[in-house]
């Protein structure tokens, strides 16, 4: 299904369609509780429920986008906000120095389990490379 299917109004299309059966859409809408560390009109950041590092925050667009595979050039401003928020969260969490990792998993072999674009912000320990 296209990410934009179900948008009835221009405003919905601009702000972004949400999917009522999507876990992260529901977290962004406040319907499912999460430990939110940032939210604005485009982006929400919340702590991962099963952290893989001392700091593990998920940064998501409010708009339902299934994965990075769905992104288009017109999503540039949204991605600018998303990465800017990730940088702000890294600073406020105290992991910007000595460094941290942003990663987005795509599809089954990429390790994606939730079909709503999310960037993992992992920090607070030295991270191995390459990932498994
Ligand atoms: O595997 P991918 O890359 O798709 O990442 C999905 C992430 O969502 C995993 O790291 C999960 O631990 C995380 N996750 C799953 C749930 C959840 C969550 N983070 C915060 N809050 C959550 N709730 C309320 N429910 C989940 N099922």
Q: How far apart are CA 121 and CA 87, in angstroms?
A: 9
Predicted local distance difference test score (pLDDT) of residue 19: 75
> Is the C-beta atom of 49 inside 6 A of ligand 1?
yes
119-123 vs 55-61, strand pairing mode: antiparallel
Pick the catalytic residue: 64, 116, 118, 120? 118
b/e string for 48-87 if b means 16 or more Cβ within 10 A?
beeeebebbbbbbbbbbbbbbeebeeebeebbebbeebbe
Reported as a single tens digit per residue, the pLDDT across 62-115 is 999 999 999 999 999 999 999 999 999 999 999 999 999 999 999 999 999 999
Is 19 among the domain residues?
Answer: yes
CATH number for the domain harbouring residue 51? 3.30.428.10
Residue 78 lies in a domain: yes
Distance from Cα 65 to the centre of ligand 1, integer Å = 16
* pLDDT for position 126: 97
Q: Over 60: is that where the pLDDT of 51 sits? A: yes
The answer as to whether 3 is a domain residue is no
């Amino acid at each position: 299904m296209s990410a934009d299917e179900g948008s009835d109004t221009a405003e919905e299309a601009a702000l972004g369609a949400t999917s009522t059966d999507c876990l992260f859409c529901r977290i962004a809408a406040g319907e499912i509780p999460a430990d939110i560390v940032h939210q604005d009109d485009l982006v929400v950041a919340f702590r991962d429920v099963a952290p893989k590092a001392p700091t593990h925050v998920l940064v998501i667009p409010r708009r339902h986008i299934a994965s990075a595979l769905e992104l288009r050039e017109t999503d540039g401003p949204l991605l600018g906000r998303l990465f800017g928020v990730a940088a702000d969260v890294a600073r406020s969490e105290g992991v910007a120095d000595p460094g941290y990792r942003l990663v987005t998993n795509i599809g089954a072999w990429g390790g994606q389990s939730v079909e709503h674009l999310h960037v993992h912000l992992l920090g607070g320990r030295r991270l191995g490379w390459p990932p498994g």
